[in-house]
A and B are shown apart, each in its own frame.
Chain A
Amino acid sequence: MPICRVMNEMIPLPSRFTDRAALLAHIRALAGDSAADMPVPDIAAGGRRAAETALAAIDPRAYAVSRNHLDGAVTRLSPYIRHGVLSLDEVRNAALASVGDARQAEKFIQELAWRDYWQRVYLAHPERIWADVESYKTGFDASEYDPDLPADIAAGETGVACIDQFVATLVDTGYLHNHARMYLAAYIVHWRRVCWQAGARFFLDHLIDGDPASNNLSWQWIASTFSNKPYIFNLENVAKYCGPDINTIPRHNLVLDQSYERLSDLLFPYMGGTHG
């Protein structure tokens, strides 16, 4: 039986503000956040109008060929979908309407399906959101992972240039491209041996599309507690997908500048075989 909280205050709140700064000040007051000045973050606009503008711009054909690249034709619909400003159904319908043949939208719709899948797992097994679904397939026991996120990661001061850039983007904009999420999550879990839950909390605190199911189960996919093997990457892969805005100079990213075979030996010394 759920525990019902009892707090009987009931206070109507305003819905008109002169600008985003005024709204942010209001939200911070509600949160009891009295820390020093916080600049207005550079996040996507809330609301249905902004969502419809983003939906009108989707290009499922371009998406299919470029979505893995940081500058690819990804849609940035995630905060709208996550908060129900757009339904998955209407996004799929718009994708189908924008192509001549449903197959041209298949890759995009398959990505939408990942969300539907994670939501179904969440509904059927809510305990899986914070608990390991399976054990780690890394040669390490769960107890060997740090339960807390190291401060240098949260501050974006790891000294690994591309990782620090991804952290800065996450913290400043509340958004990261899927590939950057994968790199950052893999770095945290496998290079730093931090438990996925600590990383998942960090992401949820910052992402404007932060979703218990899509986020935490994706972290488990990276960690190998909800997949058949750990996900890792190397600097060559980052350089291939990230373009010139991301620093992939080898001497600035030493721990990533290895072959997959060598990385596997370094990261998972108690496990045989190669990963990619």
Chain B
Amino acid sequence: MADLVWLHEEALRLTHPVFAAAGPDAACVFVWDAARLAESHVGLKRQLFIYETLCEMASARAMEIHQGQAEAVLPRLAEAAGAGRILVPASPDPAIRAAIACLRRAAPHCEVVAVEDTPFATLTSQPDLRRFFRYWNKAKKSALRPQGI
């Protein structure tokens, strides 16, 4: 079955691991949700930057931009593309995480897979996040190496 890649504004590049996970023929869509962007305080300048980036991506790879809400648009696009999986770059953004959860319920026949980006630092245990330097003392060794390993 085919795959559908759902790109969002946290991962605007064609070299993101989500594409390798999805295979070369995967359809790809960005859902432009003006209301959500405004709610998230993404001003017009940033919207311009994001859309300009999308235009360049769409000139290099088959990719669609759809207006609407991700939770509503994606199940229909997945169905139209005959996709069995929707792959999405993982993100800490609660709005994106909520949309992924909704998608899992709205498209029960599709597997929804969140794909992590390549790591900056590889940590063996959960770092103490109370202050930056507690984290840095643990992360430094790995962060100063190529690929963070």
A residues neighboring B (CB under 8 Å)? 1-17, 20, 23-24, 26-28, 30-33, 38, 41, 43-49, 79, 83-90, 92-93, 96-97, 102-103, 105-106, 109-110, 112-114, 116-117, 119-126, 174, 201, 204-208, 210, 212-213
Contact = CB atoms under 8 A, between A and B. Distances in A.
A38 B45 CA distance: 11
A186 B32 CA distance: 35
B68 A2 contact: no
20 contacts: A2-B98, A8-B72, A9-B72, A23-B52, A46-B50, A47-B57, A83-B9, A83-B49, A83-B50, A84-B13, A87-B15, A87-B118, A89-B147, A112-B120, A112-B143, A113-B120, A117-B132, A205-B43, A207-B46, A210-B41
A97 to B, nearest CB: 8
B46 A210 contact: yes
B129 interface: yes
A43 B45 contact: yes
Interface of B: 9-16, 32, 34, 37-38, 40-59, 63-69, 71-73, 76-77, 89, 92-94, 97-99, 101-102, 105-106, 117-121, 127, 129, 132, 135-136, 139-140, 143-148
Contacts of A85: 12-13, 53
Contacts of B63: 15
B64 A12 contact: yes
B148 A16 contact: no
Contact of B69 (A7, A14, A87, A88): A7
Contacts of B129: 117, 120-121, 124-125
- The interface centre, meaning the residue of A48, A86, A103, A122 with most chain B CB atoms within 10 A of its CB, is A48
A30 B32 CA distance: 9
Nearest to A29: B34
B106 A27 contact: no
A249 B32 CA distance: 46
Nearest to B117: A87
Q: Name, among A4, A102, A110, A121, the residue most crowded by chain B CB atoms within 10 Å (CB to CB).
A: A4
B92 A117 contact: no
Given A27-B51, A48-B56, A102-B144, A206 B45 contact: yes
Given A15-B55, A106-B144, A206-B43, 15 more contacts: A5-B72, A8-B72, A9-B67, A10-B66, A12-B67, A15-B59, A47-B52, A47-B53, A83-B50, A87-B16, A87-B117, A89-B148, A116-B139, A125-B129, A210-B41
Contacts of A23: 48, 51-52, 55
A205 B132 CA distance: 26
A174 B93 contact: no
A10 B76 contact: yes
Given A13-B65, A96-B146, A113-B139, A46 B51 contact: yes
A21 to B, nearest CB: 10
Nearest to A205: B43
Given A49-B56, A87-B118, A89-B118, A28 B101 contact: no
B136 A113 contact: yes
A33 B44 CA distance: 9
Contacts of B120: 87-89, 92, 112-113, 116
Contacts of A92: 120, 143, 146, 148
Contacts of B48: 20, 23-24, 27, 41, 43, 46
Contacts of A119: 92
A1 B64 CA distance: 30
Nearest to B90: A123
A167 B136 CA distance: 32
A174 B49 contact: yes
